[in-house]
Amino acid sequence: MSLGASGQAHALEARGISVRFGGSRALDGVDLVLRRGEIGGLIGPNGAGKTTLFNVVTGLCQPSSGSVFLDGCEITSWTPHRRARAGMTRTFQRLELFARMTVQENLLAAREASVRWAVFGRKMRDSQREVSEVMEMLGLAPLAARIAGDLPTGQGRLVELGRALCSSPKVILLDEPSSGLDSAETSRLGAILVEAVANQRGEMSALLVEHDMSLVMELCDSITVLDAGKRIAHGSPAEVRANPAVVAAYLGTEGGSSPLAGSTGMRAALGGER
Amino acid sequence: MGVLWPFLVIGIFAGSIYGLAAMGVVLTYKTAGVFNFAYGAVAMFCAFTYWQLHDAWHLTAWLALPLLLGVVAPLIGLAFERLFRSLVGTSAEIQIVVSLGILAVFQSAAPILYGGQTRSLQNLFPLSTFELGSRLHVGYDQLATVIVSLALGTGLWLLLRRTRFGLATRAVVDNRDLAAMIGVNANAVSRLSWVVSSVFAALVGVLLSPSQGLNVYVLVVVVIYSFAPAVLGRLRSLPLAYAGALILGVVQSVLSRWGSSGAVSDIEASIPYLALFVLLIVLGRRLEESGSALRPLARASATGPDALDRSEAARTDPRRSRQRWRFFPSQLGIGAAGLLAAGLVLPVFMNGPHLVDVSSGLVYASIALTLVILTGWAGQISLAQFSFVGVGAFTVGHLAGAHGSNFLLAAIIGALIAVPLGILVGLPSLRLSGLYLALATMAFALLMDNLVFVRTSVSGGYTGMAVARPRLFGVSFASTTRFYELALAVFAVFALLAFIARRGAIGRRLQMLRDSPVAASTLGVNLTATKLAVFAVCGAMASFAGALYGAGHQTVSPSNFAFSASLELLLLVVLGGRSLVSGALIAGGLYAVQLLAIPASIERYIPLTIALGVVNMAQNPEGTVAVVRQQVREIMSVLKPMERAVERREPPRALSRESHPGRMPRLAAGVGGAGGGLGTRGNAGS
Ligand SMILES: Nc1ncnc2c1ncn2[C@@H]1O[C@H](COP(=O)(O)OP(=O)(O)OP(=O)(O)O)[C@@H](O)[C@H]1O
Ligand SMILES: [Mg+2]
């Protein structure tokens, strides 16, 4: 177990993760480290394996090899709900809302699932207050009574973020939270995330999968780059931006027939237009 | 060993027919992604049609058979294709409900068209026999059946292997949209496979009926035998399905050597269901994975709502849903007042037998409520709910005593017995959802039917068992009015409990399970514990209500709790509204209506009407209630004063946004402003 600078275990660590789907390798010996209180970035072209790595870390997918540590404790064989109760939560790239419940119920349900006995007495009132605060912070309050499945994708992503925040996480994994949001909403999302992490004073860390490079470069303390199931770079935003392998991975996909979502952002970021 | 040869021959003969059915079922699942629960009903319907053409209208077989296989069966296939094409992309739950609804449509339409009695169908092939080796007689009909089935099976297999059709099928299965892009006509592919599948069904019907007898039920049940081999081939491999069917036929037939009645014959009849249940548990995850290749993005929508559900929900007024947060919701008040009024008024107007029927309806509503919780709220489809009712009814039959003095204790014991059974049914749900769970619960119901309820020691056999009306705390509920009041009270308590649970943490927990089990687990919900708990609790409640069901009917026999009863319950609940307490009440009402004395000329159209209603309503979780609500709202909006009526016309989204422009935070307003562009779900990158 490698330790952080302060001598504490990392908030999240994955070592040598490999995943196969049939014949193809979705992940091949990938390492990942998220230090306490930091916002990490996980980037890479489409199909690089980012979502698969999230699935391994949250327990939805068993790796064929490798191990995952949460707060220095090995959790590789834990069920997803056990990991969640230990403080890990996530959002989904393909929305996984509780689509027939209201926005408020979505958040309340998440809160109740993570806090024991959240259903009774004082804790119940605490839950409702917490949920209201999170909705206020995310600007969801006016939508509280709307059915979550009716919301456009952008608002749906905010509900998923709110749901994750309501479960008082130590590690929060966000899978493309900004897709479906316009630029004003995206920058507000970034501000919310920074505020939420800062509020917890090192008790909460976030890992972000994003195609919006300007957002990643701005928010993240460290960045891991995946390409075709392999980790090709890791470091500070500046280091990653200067890394020739990263530039090649992104520009190499440019010739493909399908234009990448966010690849313009990446090129802009890499080309220093910001 | 020599004695076994004849049984082997019969087994191969039967297995060949199951094989045809299994391949027919696999074919449409492979190509159209639809598991056809109505397959047996199609076989039954086609056999009746053949009887009509051949025996009633005296057409020669040379004319009747081509008409059946060339016109009637393909038309049925095309109708299926049309119906299910309109359901592409909807949840597995909806497709299951629709195909079960069609099963009921065929079952209720056949008696109307062809008369209700059991017919006997002549054999297609000559019955004379020839000798094989020494002393082994094989019928020409058996030989011909085996040859036909083998030839068709091989033909289909070659078609899928060697022709463009096979290639196109695989392309469509992999990705329907992509297949369309590379020039494969997905509709033509699925049309062809529906036609072939339904021609196979017609053959199955015509080949099986001479030996099984032709009526509305038998073929439907016998064709379920072929589901186990189909699952053995993971619903995709034709050769495996065929081989499995042969093995099944032989095993069944060889077993029958040791007896045509008693325990052996019960086991013989149950083997296909046992095989189905065990296969589903053993294959577990692997089934889901092969299924998911069909709908790569369907993880969420497999159990979650579909677009139509959503658009229905969108029509509800936002102000309406805000009322959910009041402590004493108005619906509860209205419901309670309605029930109370009905309770006081009905006995005054109704007497004797009618009040008995209404009581039965109320008991049925309590049973339906357990299915609303299980299926409508927790999203776990069950085709076995009436098995639990049977457990409750037979338990009080045994334990309550002649005057019902131990009734309450017996009912509680019945509920306790249902708990482990509920957990047993829940077990497959740990690894399966949607279709496979429905199949597993169906197998469970049929097993309870054929292995447990048939025992004379359990149920008193086919003559049934007397159940006394209860006597609780010294008060006898034997009189019609008293029993009615008891049924009403029990429903009221069930409904109140369900209502409170629904609005609280329990309701949210169940709906998490339904809407997105994946998200629920990553938020800390123990899926295993929650699913088993909900199966156990709903089973116990159904068993408790079953005690009253027994007391209401006064005699109960195994046929009350057959698989078909569970099926009818599911259909009535879907029709009433599977996500609402009031939906359960409507299901009870529909049940009571069927019991009330109705002129025979109308009576036989009622099941058909219900079945058609189900097919129509399957996509709406609020069923009839939603329709009524919509009508009432439209009428009210016409009756309202001018300017308010205009305001109501605006779409709800616009209404909620514009009604508090000042309070809208920047972010949400921004999202709202760009709403047009963001309205589509699932975007770049997914
Ligand atoms: N359940 C699955 N079965 C088979 N292959 C899969 C499965 N899930 C992912 N893959 C494959 O694994 C690879 C990695 O996919 P993944 O979704 O992790 O990529 P990603 O980096 O999240 O891409 P994107 O930016 O498009 O979200 C892809 O080639 C994908 O096709
Ligand atoms: Mg992804």
The larger pLDDT score, comparing residue B635 to residue B261, is at: B635
Site to probe by mutation for ligand 1, drawn from A18, A19, A21, A173 as the one with most ligand atoms within 8 Å of Cβ, is: A21
Residue B677 has pLDDT above 50, yes or no: no
Our mutation pick for probing the ligand 1 site, out of A32, A51, A213, counting the most ligand atoms within 8 A of Cβ, is A51
> Using the beta-carbon criterion (under 8 Å), do A112 and B313 form an inter-chain contact?
no
Distance CA B43, CA B663 (A): 62
Q: Which residues pair with B472 in a beta bridge?
A: B475
Does pLDDT of B179 surpass 50?
Answer: yes
Q: How far apart are CA B509 and CA B369, in angstroms?
A: 18
Q: Which atom of ligand 1 is nearest to the CA of A176?
A: 27
User: In terms of domains, do B268 and B376 share one?
Assistant: no
Query: Which chain A residue lies closest to B321 (C-alpha atoms)?
Result: A145
Do residue A182 and residue B670 have CB atoms under 8 angstroms apart?
Answer: yes
For residue B337, is it within any domain?
no
Beta carbons of A138 and A56 less than 8 angstroms apart: no
Same domain, residue pair B361 and B261: no
CB pairs under 8 A between A and B: 194
Together in a domain, B363 and B291: no
- For residue B131, is pLDDT > 80? no
Taking the C-alpha atoms of residue B333 and residue B339, their distance in angstroms, rounded to an integer, is: 10
Provide the residue-wise pLDDT of chain A in tens; the chain has 274 residues. 445 445 578 899 999 999 998 788 899 999 999 999 999 999 999 889 999 999 999 999 999 999 999 999 999 999 999 999 999 999 999 999 999 999 999 999 999 888 776 556 667 778 888 899 999 988 899 999 999 999 998 889 999 999 999 988 999 999 999 888 888 888 888 888 898 888 877 789 999 999 888 889 989 999 999 999 999 999 999 999 888 888 888 766 443 333 333 444 444 444 433 3
Cβ neighbours around B132 below 10 Å, total: 12
- Asked if residue B678 belongs to a domain, the reply is no
Based on the fold, state whether residues B358 and B288 are members of the same structural domain. no
Residue at B334: amino acid letter: I
Give whole-number Cα distances, B84 to A70, A193, B3, B40, B81, in Å.
46, 45, 48, 17, 5
Decide if B496 contacts A99 (C-beta within 8 A). Answer: no
In angstroms, what separates the C-alpha of B384 from chain A's closest C-alpha? 26
Which two three-digit tokens encode residue B366? 């309590």
Query: What is the distance in angstroms between the CA of the first residue and the CA of the last residue of chain B?
Result: 61
Determine phi and psi for A241, rounding to 5 degrees: -65, -35
What is the spatial distance between Cα B37 and Cα B25, in angstroms, rounded to a whole number? 8
- Distance from the Cα of residue A112 to its chain's centroid: 21
Residue B524: list chain A partners with CB under 8 A: 81, 84-85, 89, 113-114, 167
**Residue B417 CA neighbour count, 13 Å, CB half:** 20
Q: What H or E segment, with its residue span, contains residue A106?
A: helix A103-114
- Three-state DSSP at A272 gives coil
Question: Any idea what DSSP says for residue B122?
Answer: P
Note the pLDDT tens digit of each residue in B132-163: 776 777 888 888 889 999 999 999 998 888 88
Which residues of B are less than 8 Å from A94 in CB distance? 297, 299-300, 682, 686
Q: Mean pLDDT of all residues in chain B?
A: 81
Contacting residues for B330 by C-beta, under 8 A, at least 6 apart: B323
Total domains in chain B come to: 2
**Do the domain assignments include residue B29?**
yes
The pLDDT value given to residue B662: 35
Q: What is the DSSP letter of A11?
A: S
Cα separation, A179 vs B681, whole angstroms: 11
Quick check: is B676 in a domain? no
Cβ–Cβ under 8 Å, residues B534 and A123: no
Q: What percentage of residues in chain B have a pLDDT greater than 90?
A: 38
Which of B630, B647, B667 terminates a domain? The answer is B630
Which among B613, B630, B647 is the end of a domain? B630
Residue closest by Cα to atom 6 of ligand 1: A21
- Which of the residue ranges A175-184, B99-108, B117-126 would you say has the lowest mean pLDDT? B117-126
**What pLDDT, on the 0 to 100 scale, is given for residue B171?**
74
Question: Does B663 score more than 80 pLDDT?
Answer: no
Query: Do B440 and B573 reside in the same domain of the chain?
Result: yes
Query: Rounded distance, CA A59 to CA B8, Å?
Result: 49
Instruction: Write out chain B residues lying below 8 Å of A88, CB-based.
Output: 522
Which residue lies with its CA nearest to atom 26 of ligand 1? A46
Closest residue by CA, ligand 1 atom 3 = A21
Q: Are residues B349 and B421 in the same domain?
A: yes
Contact A79 B526 (CB under 8 A): yes
Q: How far apart are CA A196 and CA A177, in angstroms?
A: 15
Strand, coil or helix: B427: helix
Pick the range with the lowest mean pLDDT from B96-100, B433-437, B519-523, B675-679.
B675-679
Six-digit token pair at A220? Answer: 């993240």
User: How many C-alpha atoms does B362 have within 13 Å on its Cβ side?
Assistant: 26
B197, B36 contact by CB (below 8 A) = yes
Asked whether the beta carbons of residue A138 and residue B667 sit closer than 8 angstroms, the reply is: yes
How far, CA to CA in Å, does B585 sit from each of B357, B367, B572, B590? 14, 10, 10, 9
pLDDT category, B428, cuts 50, 70, 90? confident
- Beta-ladder partners of A124: none
Give CA–CA dist B574/B591, Å, rounded: 13
Chain B residues inside the 8 Å CB shell of A150: 310, 313-314, 653
- Compute the Cα dihedral for B394, B396, B400, B403 and give only its sign: negative
Nearest to B663 among A97, A108, A142 (CB): A142
Residues B266 and B351 in one domain: no
Determine which of B523, B525, B655 to mutate to test the interface with A (most A C-beta atoms within 10 Å).
Answer: B523
3-state secondary structure of A147: strand
B427, B550, B441, B505: which is closest to B37 by C-alpha? B441
Above 70 in pLDDT, residue B380? yes
Angle at the Cα of B579 from the Cα atoms of B618 and B109, rounded to 5 degrees = 30
CATH number of the domain that residue B409 is part of: 1.10.3470
ipTM associated with this complex: 0.88
Q: What are the angstrom distances between the C-alpha of A141 and each of A95, A136, B547, B671, B679? A: 20, 5, 47, 14, 20
Predicted local confidence at residue B296, as pLDDT: 34
B259: phi then psi, degrees, rounded to nearest 5: 150, 140
- Determine, yes or no, domain membership for B401: yes
User: Strands A65-70, A73-74: parallel, antiparallel or unpaired by DSSP?
Assistant: antiparallel
Residues B282 and B361 in one domain: no
Answer whether B542's CB lies under 8 Å from B585's CB: no
Domain match, B357 and B216 both: no
User: How many C-beta atoms lie closer than 10 Å to residue B83's C-beta?
Assistant: 16
Is the domain of B287 the same as that of B352?
no
- B270's tokens: 């149950």
Does residue B628 register a pLDDT over 90? no
Residue B244, min C-alpha distance to chain A (Å): 26
Q: Does residue B617 surpass a pLDDT of 90?
A: no
Q: Write down the pLDDT at residue B475.
A: 80
Q: Report pLDDT for A245.
A: 87
Residue B326 lies in a domain: no
Contact B515 A150 (CB under 8 A): no
Q: Are the beta carbons of A184 and B525 separated by less than 8 Å? A: no
Question: What are the two backbone dihedrals, phi and then psi, of residue B561, each rounded to the nearest 5 degrees?
Answer: -120, 20
Evaluate whether residue B662 is within a structural domain.
no
Residue with tokens 């469509």: B172
Which numbered ligand comes closest to the C-alpha of A226? 1
Query: Which residues in chain A have Cβ-Cβ distances shorter than 8 Å to B680?
Result: 152-153
Residue B680 has pLDDT above 60, yes or no: no
Give the pLDDT score at B26: 93
Assign A38 to helix, strand or coil.
coil
Residue A89 CB partners (closer than 8 Å, separation 6+):
A110, A114, A164, A167, A169, A171, A172, A173, B522, B523, B524
Inter-chain touch B684–A179, beta carbons under 8 Å: yes
Range of the domain at B362: 343-630
**pLDDT for B566:** 94
> Which of the listed residues B609, B630, B651 is the one where a domain comes to its end?
B630
> What φ, ψ does residue B400 adopt, rounded to 5°?
-75, -15
Query: Could you give all domains of chain A from N- to C-terminal order, each with its CATH number?
Result: 12-96+170-273 (3.40.50.300)
Same domain flag for B418 and B473: yes
Confidence grade of residue B261 (pLDDT, cut at 50, 70, 90): low
> Is A210 in the B-facing interface, judged by CB distances under 8 Å?
no
- Measured between CA atoms, how close is B185 to chain A, in angstroms? 24
Among candidate residues B158, B156, B184, the one with its CA nearest the CA of residue B170 = B184
Q: What is the pLDDT of residues B188-211, one digit of tens each?
A: 888 999 999 999 999 999 998 888
Closest residue in A to B302 (Cα–Cα): A96
Instruction: Please say if the pLDDT value at position B614 is more than 80.
Output: yes
Q: Is residue B600 part of a domain?
A: yes
CA of B633 to the centre of ligand 1 (A): 46
Q: B351 with B255, same domain?
A: no
pLDDT digits (tens, 9 = 90+) for B1-16: 567 888 888 899 999 9
Instruction: Please report residues of A whose CB lies closer than 8 A to that of B297.
Output: 94
Pocket of ligand 1 (CB under 6 A): A 21, 26, 44, 46-52, 93; B 685
Q: Considering CB atoms only, which of A85, A144, A181 is closest to B524?
A: A85
Average pLDDT over residues B581-590: 90
Q: Which phi-psi region, left, alpha or beta, contains residue A63 (left: φ > 0; alpha: ψ -120 to 50)? A: beta
b/e string for B183-192 if b means 16 or more Cβ within 10 A? ebebeebbbb
